[in-house]
Amino acid sequence: MATPGKPAGLASWNPPMCGLFFAVERHQPVDSARARQAIAALRHRGPDGIGEHNFSIANAPDMPHLSGFVGHTRLSILDPSTRSAQPFRRGPHTLAYNGEVYNFRQLRQELARKGHRFETDGDTEVLMALLVEGGAQALDQANGMWAFCLLDERNGKLTAARDRYGKKPLFYHVDADRLCLASEIGPILTYLGRAPEMSMVDLDSFLRDGWLYPHADGATHIQGIRQVVAGSVLTVDLPTWQFSEAPYFTLEAYGQVHPPAAENLAAQLQDAVLSRLVADRKVGLLLSGGVDSSLILSILAAQGLTEQVTCFTGDAGKSADATYAQQCIEQLGIPAVAIPLDYGSSGMDAFLRVCRHQEKPFPFIGNALAMPQLYARIAEHDVPVVLDGTGGDELFAGYWDRYYRFALRQALAEGDQPWIAASLAANADSPQLLATANQVLRQAATGAPAVQGPGGLVRASEDPPDIDSFVQPEVLRARRVDPLLDFRGTLAQALVLDAGRGRLHEWLWQNDRNAMTYGIENRSPLLDFRLASFMLTDFRHKFVGPWNKHELRSAFAPFVPLPTQWRRDKQGFRWVYHRFLQNNRRQVLELVEGSRLLPMRVDVKRLLDAARKQDNYLECGLLQRMLCIAGLEQSMGLS
């Protein structure tokens, strides 16, 4: 690990936070016009440049040469020279890369000692050399985020991989005749000349739950489109058309080999933050008013680096987040930009823009619907790099309603009555938490199985009681997507499962699309892979009295204490959905009414008749999900 401290200097390098498109045809030439249309659809991810490379590879004796295209759009954060432009080519190798390797200078020195010579100052060339030298298994030496395609034209071998957590996306389609890979789904469909077709199984699950978590096997909600699994490598032998995918990293294995050490947490956090500051352009911080983003600010303040970062805060709806964020800003005496949210005249246009860029159903929450507005305003300030606190809740157990029950079950199994008594007493003022605790205690006393909650649609307390009557039986019986629903393991096991297959992937999908819609790179220090081991620490270190993620709160100590360190009432970034629905009532109802998908599963006419008469139907969870599906139909042609 690098020694913590102020950056020695902001020497130029080229983190290619961009978009990539790769296509191979087996029996005919690549359609260059469609390939260029596909890469043009990624210009929002890389507005600063565009490049392409055409290639051919010898196929089996009785078949014509394979025809291929590699395209790339570039977002220049550092070293905007053309030396590192992509697709990046050296000899027989071509690399299209979206991401950053934060420790590339260290890797460059090690590779130079082995005889590699470098012609650029960036991490793109270092990544290529690392892969050529050691293959995909050499990725365990890299610290960063990435999605890339590396082609060796000598033998027709393609290597495609995503980073450990899956911060950067990489989708693909393969059939008997062609292979396409891209940073988003839309460019693949553009090249194929197809409209997106949604899996009815996933439609039913979304209408029931309001979430659509990833499939463990890499399948997506769009038929014929898969994604490379986080922490995995897809290897393709193009001449024989043989495909294989295997992990190079798993959270479980890493934690076993690298057990967490509390004495290293502060130093690792500091290094994770400082390594993400290198930039020749402005860097911002999304200061939410919670523990995670304010800890990043605390580290910056302790190092005297707050002048290098512009803080942005947003309208927090009903929560006190904006107040806490302002208290931090005032304590440190630093400037900040407050961004209001628009629920009015531009609300529906903004909603459809979110649908088009998200490319999948999403819940009506601030992370999906409010964050894009923040990034749009941040882009107006010419700040193309933004730090965020993503990962703190998933690694350090920040969600009481999601993780506390696992700690309580574990305490019961281990007979730790003092911890249970102290925890319940410290949280006696939280009816919701006590209700969760009573349910767990009753299950333990009676031996009853875990209770998933009432059958039918997942609903809010204010939803109409008859809402299930509007949907077909297939929806009520749909697969539940949350991997923690029936899980009965330890807290550490639940955190690993949720980070690998659960909610963290939703945040990462949404964050990538929110930021890259406006050509902004978001960096998440708390997702530095060296911190992953802290998911495995004992539950007693995470839930202490009235505090969740106690380890992370305690990590403020070597830095600058801030008012957010010991706050209890963090609610998360809010989107006041009822205001949006009321302000855009006519457009909402018209959009849902025009859907061709929804009548297959919902009595749309009867629900809209009810919504025109009563607000609780207009604002119910089911209609929100229907609006999202209708928005995807209109904005991306979902069928």
Q: Distance of CA 492 to CAs 1, 43, 79, 540, Å?
A: 25, 40, 41, 11
Confidence band of 280 (pLDDT split at 50, 70, 90): confident
- pLDDT for 5 equals 39
For residue 615, give both structure tokens.
């607000």
pLDDT band for position 431 (cuts 50, 70, 90):
very high
Q: Does residue 6 surpass a pLDDT of 80?
A: no
Residue 189 and residue 251 in contact, taking contact as beta carbons nearer than 8 Å: no
Distance of CA 390 to the CA centre of its chain: 8
Task: Show the tokens assigned to 505.
Answer: 């992937």
pLDDT digit string, tens, across residues 503-555: 999 999 999 999 999 999 999 999 999 999 999 999 999 999 999 999 999 99
Q: Is the dihedral of CA 110, 113, 115, 120 positive or negative?
A: positive
557-598 pLDDT, tens digit per residue, is: 999 999 999 998 766 666 778 889 999 999 999 999 999 999
Which of the two residues, 447 and 302, has the higher pLDDT score?
Answer: 302
What are φ and ψ of residue 313, in 5° steps?
Answer: -125, 155
**136-183 pLDDT, tens digit each:** 999 999 999 999 999 999 999 999 999 999 999 999 999 999 999 999
pLDDT at 80: 57
pTM above 0.85, yes or no: yes
H/E element, 561: none
**Residues 6 or more apart from 333 whose CB is under 8 A from it?**
none
Q: What is the pLDDT of residue 86?
A: 87
The residue count for the chain: 639
Edge-to-edge strand list for the sheet holding 521-523: 336-339, 309-314, 283-286, 385-387, 521-523
Q: What single DSSP character describes residue 59?
A: -
Distance from C-alpha of 95 to C-alpha of 152, rounded to nearest angstrom: 9
Q: What angle do CA 150, 152, 154 make, to 5 degrees?
A: 175
* Token pair 């007493």: residue: 425
Placement of tokens 């998440």 in the chain: 524
C-beta of residue 552 within 8 angstroms of C-beta of residue 566:
no
Instruction: For 38-94, write each residue's pLDDT tens digit.
Output: 999 999 998 878 999 999 998 766 667 899 999 999 876 555 566 768 899 999 999
Q: What is the pLDDT of residues 217-237, one digit of tens each?
A: 999 999 999 999 999 999 999
Q: Supply the angle between the helices 621-636 and 347-358 in degrees, to the nearest 10.
A: 70
Q: Is 26 helix (H, G, I), strand (E, B) or coil?
A: coil
Q: Is the pLDDT of residue 4 over 50?
A: no
- Dist. CA 123–CA 615, nearest whole Å: 54
3-state secondary structure of 310: strand
Which CATH number is associated with domain 19-249?
A: 3.60.20.10
Residue 94, beta-bridge partner list: 89, 151
**Residue listed under structure tokens 């490598």:** 233
Q: Provide mean pLDDT across the span 235-257.
A: 95
206 versus 256: which is more confidently predicted? Answer: 206
Query: What's residue 13's pLDDT?
Result: 43
Instruction: Name residues whose C-beta falls within 8 Å of residue 540's C-beta, 6 or more positions apart in sequence.
Output: 416, 419
Nearest alpha carbon to residue 558 among 228, 360, 268, 290: 268
Top mean pLDDT of 36-45, 339-348, 445-454 is at: 36-45
At residue 10, does pLDDT exceed 50? no
What does pLDDT average to over the chain?
A: 91
Residue 404 confidence (pLDDT): 97
pLDDT interval class at 444 (50, 70, 90): confident
Determine the residue type at 75.
L
Cβ proximity of 202 and 20 under 8 Å: no
Distances (CA, A) of 597 to 204, 634, 639: 11, 11, 7
Inform me whether the pLDDT recorded for 37 exceeds 50.
yes
Where is pLDDT greater, at 537 or 252?
A: 537
pLDDT band with cut points at 50, 70 and 90 for residue 347 = confident
pLDDT digits (tens, 9 = 90+) for 458-503: 999 999 999 999 999 999 999 999 999 989 999 999 999 999 999 9
pLDDT bucket at 615, cuts 50 / 70 / 90: very high
Quick one: which H or E segment has residue 145?
strand 144-152
Strand partners, 312: 286, 337
